[in-house]
Amino acid sequence: MTTSQDLLITALDVASSRPVENGDLSLALAGAELVDLIDAQALVLDDDHIVPGPQWTTGDRLLDEASSSLTRQAPYESVEEWLWRRGRGLAAAYLAVLEAEGQVTRRRHRWIPLRSGRTALADSSARRHAADRWMSGEPVLAGLAAALGIQHEPAEEAAGLTDDAVVTVVAAVNNAVTELEAVRQRRHIEDAAFDNIWRGE
């Protein structure tokens, strides 16, 4: 199991302080891919720029796709640039893989937008692996989940992160999610103002 798969399962399985938006989840999944590629020594970070190592396969289709899409010539991509480029539609891609593997099924759930009309997790080894990793408070998973509003108790996810490259990735995910939320709020305000104009208020 990859960090991205564990993060998606955690997002579907654990209550969060706010609804998990697909855009936020996609950004966090892209960050999780970077963490796994760092761990596999498929890349290193030079400050916040991604420098790919030799290209090889991990055996996971989406992670291999991520590795093959790295910018391999200078100027290298920043972590933030990667999150926005790679993250586009990534939650749907990971969900489709879990669904194809029979690890999730579609089901209506009125109160949780991420799951609405989409998914119910099967009792699988993947789900148990993600749950074990979550319950142990593993710092990388906890740090990425915290960016989505999914908090581990006690919320000390950042304290356990010791690898500077991983800290950089998790911080970039937090910044990107915050930026996306600011965009949503700005659009909401603009839409409300437009509606008021049409109503003559």
SS3 for the chain is: CCHHHHHHHHHHHCCCCCCCCHHHHHHHHHHHHHHHHHHCCCEEEECCEEEECCCCCCCCHHHHHHHHCCCCCCCCCEHHHHHHHHCCCHHHHHHHHHHHCCCEECCCCCCCCCCCCCCEECCCHHHHHHHHHHHCCCHHHHHHHHHCCCCCCCCCHHHHCCCHHHHHHHHHHHHHHHHHHHHHHHHHHHHHHHHHHHHCC
The mean of the pLDDT values for the chain is: 85
pLDDT at position 154 is: 46
Residue 40 has pLDDT above 70, yes or no: yes
Distance in angstroms (rounded) separating the CA atoms of residues 171 and 31: 10
Distance in angstroms (rounded) separating the CA atoms of residues 36 and 59: 12
**Stretch 77-97: mean pLDDT, rounded?**
96
**Stretch 153-180: mean pLDDT, rounded?**
81
pLDDT band with cut points at 50, 70 and 90 for residue 159: low
Q: How far apart are the first and last CA of the chain?
A: 54
Give the residue numbers spanning the domain of 174.
Answer: 3-199
**pTM, 2 dp:** 0.84
pLDDT at position 112 is: 55
Q: How many domains does the chain have?
A: 1
63 in Cβ contact with 36 (< 8 Å): yes
Residue 2 has pLDDT above 70, yes or no: yes
Residue 177 has pLDDT above 90, yes or no: yes
Question: Nearest to residue 28, comparing CAs of 142, 159, 187, 192?
Answer: 142
**Stretch 120-141: mean pLDDT, rounded?**
90
pLDDT at position 119 is: 65
pLDDT band with cut points at 50, 70 and 90 for residue 71: very high
pLDDT band with cut points at 50, 70 and 90 for residue 196: low
